Structure 1
Amino acid sequence: MPTAARFVAALCLAVLAWVVSEQIKPLFDEDKAFGNFNLINFVIAVAVGWQVIGSRAGRGLSAAINNGLTGGIVLVFWCLLAHSAIRMFEISMRGRYGGAFEAFSAIFEMMVENGILIATQLIIGALVIGSVASGVIAEMTNKRAS
């Protein structure tokens, strides 16, 4: 059921995803084509904010902080999975994998590699502060709308 808290949580997490996406780009090679990188992260963030943070709003401040952190972790997981799966599909279209299992396991290898690459103080700090703020803002919106 749509609520103001769900909408605000989705919006806050989407803005966070866009900002962090821009912070991540310089960490990769200069010649890397990002394509729809920001847009994919934005859409995933809307879904995660709506479902994870917004649906749990209204349980108090400490729960809001935990919900925000959970939303940030879920966001990172799904974004890493989505981009790794897209990259695996691009590589598999060139016939670089020996079979389906090798291609499937490559997704998780790429997730780990990209996760290590983006695990900088700037990115982690932005994700923690932004996701906690998203949870708290959703909580405040829920109280105000009630």
Structure 2
Amino acid sequence: MLYPTAARLVAALLMAALAYVVSEMIKPLMPEGMDFGKFTYVNMGLGALVGWKLIGDRVGRGTVPGINNGVTGAAVLMILGLLLQGSVEMFRMAHRHVYRDPFEALADIFVIALKYFFIIAVPNVLATLAIGGVIVGLLVEATAKRWK
């Protein structure tokens, strides 16, 4: 069910905040002159969605499951972000007629996402995601206990 709770709201807000922080950390790692457009806002929207739906669905089970929930949410956020940004880049390249057929374009989404992963897979970004996920999980669990 998607009924609103305080834990869902807190999870959505905290994951959006984590997405903002990580997005700003990623920008200097990308090639110079890259146009980011709405990169940060899209990632924040993904963070809010992951927080509301994924983390918000699994609250109230205890501290250790809460930590696991937060770390899982951070990992899902990263994977969805990579796939979404890979899709955006694929569509940009498709408008320049780079691909011979649609299947080549779809396959390239994963290649682009993997290329982006290797660019952003630096210790400070991964540590921020992991520690941020733990903090989000703990705070959402505390919220679920406080406001049932």
**Structure 1 length normalisation: TM-score?**
0.98
**2:17 match:** 15
Q: Quote the offset at 1:30 in angstroms.
A: 1.9
Tell me if 1:61 matches 2:30: no
| Aligned mates of 1:128, 1:18 — CA distance in 2 | 15
| Aligned mates of 1:33, 1:89 — CA distance in 2 | 15
Correspondences of 1:1-146 after superposition (within 5 Å): 1-146=3-148
SS of equivalent residue, structure 1 residue 77: helix
For 2:28, give the aligned amino acid: P
For 2:56, give the aligned amino acid: G
For 2:147, give the aligned amino acid: A
* C-alpha RMSD of the superposition: 0.6
Gaps of 5+ in 2: none
Q: Quote the offset at 1:126 in angstroms.
A: 0.2
- Runs of 4+ that moved beyond 2 A: none
SS of equivalent residue, structure 1 residue 78: helix
The number of equivalent residue pairs is: 146
Q: Deviations over 1:71-94 (max 9, x none)?
A: 011100110011100110010011
Q: Percent identity, please.
A: 44
For 1:127, give the aligned amino acid: L
SS of equivalent residue, structure 2 residue 100: coil
| Aligned mates of 1:70, 1:98 — CA distance in 2 | 37
Gaps of 5+ in 1: none
